Amino acid sequence: MTIDFLKRELSSVLSKKRYEHSIRVLDTALNLGTIYDGDLNKIAIAAILHDYAKELKRDELIKIASEHFKLETQDYISNVEILHSYASAYIAKERFKIEDTEILDAIKYHTTGRKNMTLTEKIVYIADAIEPKREYPHVEKIRDLALVDLNEAILLEVNKKIEYLIKHEFIIHTNSIEMRNWLLKIS
């Protein structure tokens, strides 16, 4: 399965805006993959498919999550922002026959992160947050950090994300908190 094939498949299910975001995540992730000597094939597949389910209807996202990721998603079932990651991983496995858990996990945890992430997971997570068109406070600092210290970049990103979530009284996924605690411990 080639990246060009997956790009074509993606362009048939996403709006132009979201498709172009995914392409920027792919380019950002490949750059980081080169810097950190990652598996570029795995990184590319995970990056291109990470938002595949982003435009599925709410009902479909809830159905996939409750049928296939019941335990992991039951506390977040009303949060489609979190569910699209699980649904994208599900489609990667079912439709595109991807069995590699490193690829599937990088898709599944690209929104929340989690503790003990692999290099592929870290790269897809942070590439999604820093692709060139992302704009939010401190993104430039996070972008610069990502080129020299992936863990520090993710730590700063998740700190800023948690601050934002608290400010707006949004739910914080426990995976994000566990990722932050893990990064504090290892850095």
Q: Which residues bind Fe ion (CB under 5 A)?
A: 51, 128
Distance in angstroms (rounded) separating the CA atoms of residues 41 and 110: 17
Shortest reach from residue 131's CB to Fe ion, in Å: 8
Q: Which is nearer to Fe ion, 82 or 155 (CB)?
A: 82
Shortest reach from residue 84's CB to Fe ion, in Å: 6
Shortest reach from residue 144's CB to Fe ion, in Å: 20
The residue written with tokens 């709006």 in the block is: 15
Contacts of 51 (CB under 8 A, 6+ apart): 14, 18, 21, 22, 25, 84, 88
Q: Which is nearer to Fe ion, 25 or 37 (CB)?
A: 25
Q: Which is nearer to Fe ion, 42 or 54 (CB)?
A: 54
First to last CA, the chain: 37
Q: Which is nearer to Fe ion, 17 or 185 (CB)?
A: 17
Shortest reach from residue 109's CB to Fe ion, in Å: 11
Residue 41 in tokens: 């094939």
Distance in angstroms (rounded) separating the CA atoms of residues 160 and 156: 6
